[in-house]
Amino acid sequence: MNRPYVICHMLTSLDGKIDGAYMSAPECAPALTAYGNLRGVFRCQATLYGTTTMAGSYSKGYVGQVEVSNSDYPKEDFIAVSDAENYVISVDPKGSLAFPCNSIEKKGRAKAHIVEVLTEAVHIDYLAYLRKKEISYIFAGKDTLDCWILLEKLYRLFSIERLMIAGGGLMNWSFVQEDLLDELSIVMAPVADGSTRAVSIFEKADFLPARSPAVFKLKEAKTLDGDTLWLRYTRR
């Protein structure tokens, strides 16, 4: 298999939401703790996030107007670091995120080198911005993300053998859509808020074609502290 083994690890409410008011409920705290602690079980070398998740939690938001570059960089992969202990894979098709440096440090996790995943729709000035920050970037599609290309390059260029996907819903479904999700891990908090605006664990983008429902096989179910449930599935 010339691609990483792909695991989607998510915290959800009882009604399948991955964000929203339920996360601030005291009864959700044990699930939040378990979700963070269980990341290490999967021994992943990289974690992948979508643009919205990156903008809200792992970057300085959106870059806005970048400095005009005098260099005409080709739209080819740029590898600043290829031997990091850990990576954050940032899916940012049109190049919109701002970063203070080329790595991310979170308490309890290894320092992670940032790899931006772009499409050919990105502006050349943004490539200059990433190079100046020494942030690696790869191309995976012309106008929209090609998950097959993305995984092949992560495996070949960065030797990533195990990849964790951590949202959001559109990103999670993109890998299901292409039958590229090998395992699903759900840490379910014993709370629900009934919100119709919160993001669900899987959401299909309008431009993706219809497909038959994805079917999973239960691998393991455990009850954790605070009535939290941990469910592990593999694809049938």
Q: Are residues 70 and 118 in the same domain?
A: yes
Q: How confident is the model at residue 184 (pLDDT cuts 50, 70, 90)?
A: very high
Highest mean pLDDT among 4-8, 54-58, 71-75: 4-8
- The pLDDT value recorded for residue 173 is 94
Question: Are 89 and 105 within one domain?
Answer: yes
**What pLDDT does 158 receive?**
98
Predicted confidence at residue 179, as pLDDT, reads 94
| 1 lies in the same domain as 15 | yes
Q: Are both 62 and 141 inside the same structural domain?
A: yes
- Shared-domain flag, residues 26 and 57: no
223 and 117 both lie in a single domain: no
Backbone angles phi, psi at 83, to 5 degrees: -130, 30
Give me the CATH number covering residue 198.
Answer: 3.40.430.10
Domain end call among 112, 144, 160 = 160
For the entire predicted model, the pTM comes to 0.93
* 65 and 149 assigned to the same domain: yes
Instruction: Clarify whether residues 105 and 203 are in a common domain.
Output: no
Considering its fold, how many domains does the chain have in total?
2
Percentage of the chain beyond pLDDT 70 is 99
Average pLDDT over residues 107-123: 91
Backbone angles phi, psi at 96, to 5 degrees: -130, -10
Across residues 210-222, what is the average pLDDT? Answer: 94
State how far the Cα of 45 lies from the Cα of 87, in Å rounded to an integer. Answer: 6
In this predicted structure, what is the pLDDT of residue 64? 73
Task: Please provide the average confidence, as pLDDT, over all residues in the chain.
Answer: 93
Name residue 220's beta-bridge partners: 232
Q: What is the mean pLDDT of residues 31-42?
A: 96
H or E element in which residue 172 lies: helix 169-177
> 156 pLDDT exceeds 80?
yes
Domain end (from 131, 160, 189): 160
- The pLDDT assigned to 72 comes to 83
Question: What's the first-to-final CA gap in the chain, in angstroms?
Answer: 17
Pick the last residue of a domain from 141, 160, 179: 160
In three-state form (DSSP H/G/I as H, E/B as E, the rest C), the secondary structure along 121-165 is CCCHHHHHHHHHHCCEEEECCCCCCCHHHHHHHHHHHHCCCEEEE
Contact criterion met (CB below 8 Å) for 235 and 182: yes
* Confidence check: pLDDT of 35 > 90: yes
> Based on the domain organization, do 95 and 137 belong to the same domain?
yes
Residues 26 and 51 in one domain: no
pLDDT mean over 221-227: 98
Separation CA 152–CA 50 (nearest Å): 18
Task: Please report which confidence band the pLDDT of residue 162 belongs to, taking 50, 70 and 90 as the band edges.
Answer: very high
Residue 205 belongs to domain spanning: 1-43+165-236
* pLDDT tens, position by position, 117-142: 999 999 999 999 999 999 999 999 99
- Asked if residue 1 has pLDDT above 90, the reply is no
Do 179 and 143 fall into the same domain?
no
71 and 147 share one domain? yes
